[in-house]
Amino acid sequence: MIIELIALDGMMASGLAITADLVETANRLRRQAGRTRLFTLRLSGAGAAAAGGFLNLPLAGDAAPAADLLVVPGLGFATPEALTAGLARPDVLAAGARLAAAVGRGAEVAAACSSVFLLAAAGLLDGRRATTSWWLAPLFARMHPGVRLDADALVVRDGPVTTAGAAMAQMDLMLQMVARHGGPGLAQDCARLLLLDQRSSQARYMAPGFMAAADDRIARAEAWARARLDQPFTAGDMAAAAGLSPRTFARRMARATGLSPVGFIRRLRLERATELRETTRLSMEEIAVRVGYADASTLRRLMRRVGTTGRRR
């Protein structure tokens, strides 16, 4: 199976290295089991020549056979301004056209983090389910309303397209590719050898304060709510603290965080509960009271749902 790793200028080097390491690990494990190598990895894109030097990988030539899978690690675009400028670059546009042509001839494509925007811009995600980095999710939803975004998901496959969350989800993305084409056992062996943890969701890593910082009124409401997590309050109370009407507050909350006001309050409470769970000896009953839940069982259920049960230190 031929995998083409698209390397663009300014791309996160970690994503390139992770992909190369996982593919080589899978091939090595197969050799040790007396089997032939499964994957052939090559590079293309504006940054391919530079990346090939430190990854020791060949470049995709014009006469090379077509790739079965094209992979785009995170582009490193972390702000709306950087995304707008980056997606308009000639090398990025060329990569998008290459990906679209690959899907047109029956190949698979995969992208992580901000590179998911590249797939969307190339029209490869229209009507499909996808994910991207949690802090870019609100922006993605506004830019591409025709995509069924699942911001909590770590890796999403829809037809020939697979997308993954934040930059280090490149590991999870490639493990899924190894499992899909080499079998779950090979993927598990790779994860075990490389000491990779099992993760199924981005939800536990989301930082509400980071998302709220995009809007000064939402940030004001967030600070107000954090100081009162042990007290009952409503979304309307938060709106008043922000100096906004409930409707305007809900609209600005969705724009900044991708969440409803109630969903945002829940995130704040769960974040604080996880912190207390990991850094104190408080019982779940005591933690529940400190974050505004009268019933510890409700809190446990919510924490399990998003994978934030936490560990005692």
221, 98: one domain: no
Helix/strand/coil percentages in the chain, nearest 5: 55, 10, 35
Residues 6+ apart with CB under 8 A from 234: none
221, 256: one domain: yes
248, 188: one domain: no
Torsion of CA 196, 197, 200, 201, to 10 degrees: -100
DSSP string for residues in 279-310? H----HHHHHHHTT-S-HHHHHHHHHHTT---
242, 128: one domain: no
- Among 145, 175, 203, the domain-final residue is 203
Element at 311 (helix H, strand E):
none
Which candidate, 161, 158, 202, 155, places its Cα nearest to that of 175?
155
199, 225: one domain: no
Query: What's the whole-model pTM score?
Result: 0.84
215, 301: one domain: yes
Two tokens, residue 217: 């009124």
195, 276: one domain: no
219, 257: one domain: yes
Instruction: Decide if 313 is inside a domain.
Output: no
Domain range for 58? 2-203
Counting the structural domains of the chain, the total is 2
Torsion of CA 206, 209, 215, 218, to 10 degrees: 110
- Among 203, 224, 258, the domain-final residue is 203
Q: For residue 73, what is the domain's CATH number? A: 3.40.50.880
- Among 179, 203, 227, the domain-final residue is 203
Q: What is the pLDDT along the chain (313 residues), one digit of tens a residue?
A: 999 999 998 888 899 999 999 999 999 999 999 999 999 999 999 999 999 888 999 999 877 899 999 999 999 887 888 899 999 999 999 999 999 999 999 999 999 999 999 999 999 999 999 999 998 999 999 999 999 999 888 999 999 999 999 878 899 999 999 999 999 999 999 999 998 877 777 877 778 888 888 899 999 999 999 999 999 999 999 999 999 999 999 999 999 898 999 999 999 999 999 999 989 999 999 999 999 998 899 999 988 887 666 555 4
Instruction: Decide if 178 is inside a domain.
Output: yes
CB atoms within 10 A of CB 195: 6
**Cβ atoms 21, 55 nearer than 8 A:** no
210, 185: one domain: no
Instruction: Decide if 255 is inside a domain.
Output: yes
187, 210: one domain: no
277, 216: one domain: yes
Two tokens, residue 16: 């390139």
